[in-house]
Structure 1
Amino acid sequence: MQNETNQSDENATQSPANQPGWIKMALDFGPLIVFFTAFKLGDLFVATGVFMAASILAMITSKIVFGKIAAMLKFNVVVVMIMGGLTLYLQDETFVKMKLTIINSVMALILLFGMLRGKLYLKMVMEMAIEMDDAGWKVFSRNWIIYMFVMAGVNELIWRTQSTEFWVNFKTFGYMGATMVFMIGHAPLFMKYLPEDNVK
């Protein structure tokens, strides 16, 4: 009986729903802030190495705190390790600057592939945070795919035409701000497609 109680307490501790929201936010944005700070104190190569270490730390922390590592986090860390590793090995900024393009493009293609197969992958990832019926998820998935392709293009345009400092500022603040505006702009959609049992 005591073992069952301890197991229950352990599961509750590992459940994301029982963890403070700031922990997940720190895991999502912590490595990015560390990257920005390291760039300001050093250069892009220093920042890349620090970002790689911070990303690994975020993955380990997620496993310890939540008991699992989200698929998106795993994918992001793999891309960070590959592109960051090439950047440091070849001493070429191109690879780390293309990381955002690759992540956005690959995720957009995965979501598009899912929709063509009648699968709502975005719903599987975000349904704990957003409640909508499938019609709403289809619209949101379509818009998210378009957004990611657009942001991949914007990233390519910026790193190819602007200074490294400008690109770092865009990566740290511009992309985050654009995503927040995108999500806030979809508030009417979230309300429109609330599941019927949630509509009073």
Structure 2
Amino acid sequence: MATREINPILKQVLELGPTVLFFLIYTRIKDEVYVIGGTEYTGFIVATLVFIPILLVAMGILWAMTGRLSRIQVFTAFMVIFFGGLTAWFNDERFFKMKTTIIYGLMAAALGIGLLRGRSYLEWIMGEVMPMRHEGWMILTRRMTLFLAAMAVFNEVLWRTQSTDLWVKIETFGFPLLMMVFFVSQMGVFNAYTIEDGGDRKP
């Protein structure tokens, strides 16, 4: 299927909307207890179960409209389904909270392995939409690896020491904001190594 461009605002709504809806649903039902099949489930777990189909529908719409999904989107969706399922099966919200640690940790590990091999897997993921010379990708990948590792550690400390309410707020708004701040802080790398039209990716 050929890729197509869509309105960037609509794209952001489809990408971020499910997480915001999860936050709104959780906020509304967090103090409720639901009995399903004779088992009691907290509002957090019910919100998690509702979040999974919302995410899949949003991704399906995005795929239908653009003709593609990024590797990170597919990986994240798989992790949400897997850990959301574990959360419901064991009736334990810790699985869903650990998901964020594992996602960031695995991404940091994958990028680190690439660096040890002298490669930038970040370039493989983002190179088509953000053309830069190889040196720039290596610099960005090293920094991204450290950033993701720090995010994994931060999430692990956060969910183990703070309330579910605070974790949900930071998961919904804090982590995306930190990611945005990170990329903005790398504008020097982008400006120095961006390939102009007709340029070469290699030095």
Q: TM-score range by the shorter chain?
A: 0.7 to 0.9
Identity rate, percent: 35
Q: CA deviation at 1:40?
A: 0.6
Compare 165-174 and 111-120 and name the one that shifted more. 111-120
Q: CA deviation at 1:71?
A: 1.8
- Gapped regions of structure 1 (runs ≥ 5): 1-10
SS in 2 for 1:97: helix
Compare 41-50 and 97-106 and name the one that shifted more. 41-50
Residue matched to 1:15: 3
Contact 1:131–1:190 (CA under 8 A) maintained in structure 2: no
From the superposition, tell whether residues 44 and 192 of structure 1 become closer, same or farther in structure 2 (CA, over 3 Å).
same
CA distance in 2, matches of 1:160, 1:192: 40
From the superposition, tell whether residues 127 and 23 of structure 1 become closer, same or farther in structure 2 (CA, over 3 Å).
farther
- Provide TM-score, normalisation by structure 1: 0.86
CA distance in 1, matches of 2:174, 2:52: 21
Residue matched to 1:45: 45
CA distance in 2, matches of 1:162, 1:60: 34
**1:1-200 alignment, distance < 5 Å:** 14-16=2-4, 18-42=5-29, 43-195=43-195
SS in 1 for 2:130: coil
Residue matched to 1:8: none
CA distance in 1, matches of 2:62, 2:121: 21
Contact 1:76–1:103 (CA under 8 A) maintained in structure 2: yes
Contact 2:119–2:138 (CA under 8 A) maintained in structure 1: no
CA distance in 2, matches of 1:94, 1:102: 12
- Provide TM-score, normalisation by structure 2: 0.85
Q: CA deviation at 1:136?
A: 0.6
Q: CA deviation at 1:51?
A: 1.4
SS in 1 for 2:131: coil
Question: What is the total number of aligned residue pairs between the two structures?
Answer: 186
RMSD (Å) for aligned C-alpha atoms:
1.8
From the superposition, tell whether residues 183 and 21 of structure 1 become closer, same or farther in structure 2 (CA, over 3 Å).
same
The superposition leaves residues 117-171 of structure 1 with CA deviations (integer Å, 9 ceiling, x where unpaired) of 2332211222243232110100000111110000000000110000000000110
Q: Which amino acid letter does the alignment assign opposite residue 164 of structure 1?
A: T
CA distance in 1, matches of 2:89, 2:197: 55
Contact 2:15–2:59 (CA under 8 A) maintained in structure 1: no
SS in 2 for 1:15: coil
The structure carrying a bigger helix percent of its residues is 1
Compare 60-69 and 135-144 and name the one that shifted more. 60-69
